[in-house]
Amino acid sequence: MGRRDREAVARGTRLYEAAQAVAADHERAVEEVRAALAPICDGLAARELDAIPVARLKEVTEGGLRLGEVERGGFRTVGQVLDAGPYRLRQIPGVGRQTAAQAVAAARRIAEAVRETIAVCIDVDRPDPRTTALLVALHVLVEAGPEARRALAAARALTCRLGPLLDAARLVPCRLRLLLAGGAARERALKAASEIRALIGRAEREGVPRLLAQASVDLLRGPPTELAALVDFELRPAEYYRLIAEIADQRPDPAAAEAAADVSGTALVRRIVEDEQARLGAFRGGP
């Protein structure tokens, strides 16, 4: 119970803060990619949904949906139904609350299936502002490379392990509070300090502090010029496409997930989308 324990808690706190910083820096970089990716995926999805006839909504609800009045109201595609929402559909004479809700739920289900099939293709010979912005955002993560992914895994593990230990050892930095604490509390705090010391030792032997520090530097680098991002994409496109696929799958549409309870199974919806894409020669590429 002395200086050694207090130093262990102080070092553990610094390592914990470094781990939290890496996780936050990585999430910030990912959010920038998501923000750049969203309008591209939205545009691709809207283009496909506007080519799927509204009649396909019947199949999603196994024929239980009456769409005659919806079509007579001027809604011809799944995209139009989705954009309208239940309130606007209920304004059509003969369309009730249940029909409107089921039609929109089915449209959301198809929209989710469409988004799962979207493939973003980047043409460096014909760059546009949206795909260029995406490459600039992705460049940070691509440049940080696998070492940043290792650092993130280490940061998450450290945060999970160090957090409870630092909480248990919170009495250690103040000698008076530690002396006045009950025997059981003092023993828990000192035991936690000992475990923190051992954990720091292992982390230092494995080079974790250095790994975290380098990852923070890499993830906080300023964005490249648009030209530099385009050139780098040409040199290693697989890395960019891997990240696009990984990040695009991280956030399913909650509205579509909620609608799943109201319509039939995923396999049927995917078949509808695949049929329409085959019929229309589905669009694949940048908007």
- pLDDT at position 63: 61
177 located within any domain: yes
Across the chain, what does the average pLDDT equal?
Answer: 82
Residue percentage of the chain with pLDDT more than 90:
35
**Residue 281 to residue 113: CA distance in whole angstroms:** 17
76 located within any domain: yes
- pLDDT at position 183: 60
- pLDDT at position 238: 92
Cβ 192 vs Cβ 165: under 8 Å = yes
279 located within any domain: no
- pLDDT at position 250: 45
276 located within any domain: no
- pLDDT at position 188: 72
In terms of Cβ atoms closer than 10 Å to its own Cβ (0-12, 13-18, 19+), residue 41 is: middle
233 located within any domain: yes
* Bridge partners of residue 53, in order along the sequence: 77
> How many CB atoms sit inside 10 A of residue 151's CB?
27
Cβ 29 vs Cβ 206: under 8 Å = no
- Low-confidence spans in the chain with pLDDT less than 50: 1, 176, 178, 180, 250-264, 282-287
- pLDDT at position 273: 67
Tens-digit pLDDT profile for residues 248-280: 874 434 443 343 334 445 666 666 666 666 766
- Count up the domains in the chain and report the number: 1
- pLDDT at position 224: 87
Range of the domain at 204: 3-271
Write down the pTM of the prediction.
0.74
285 located within any domain: no
- pLDDT at position 266: 62
**Residue 128 to residue 120: CA distance in whole angstroms:** 13
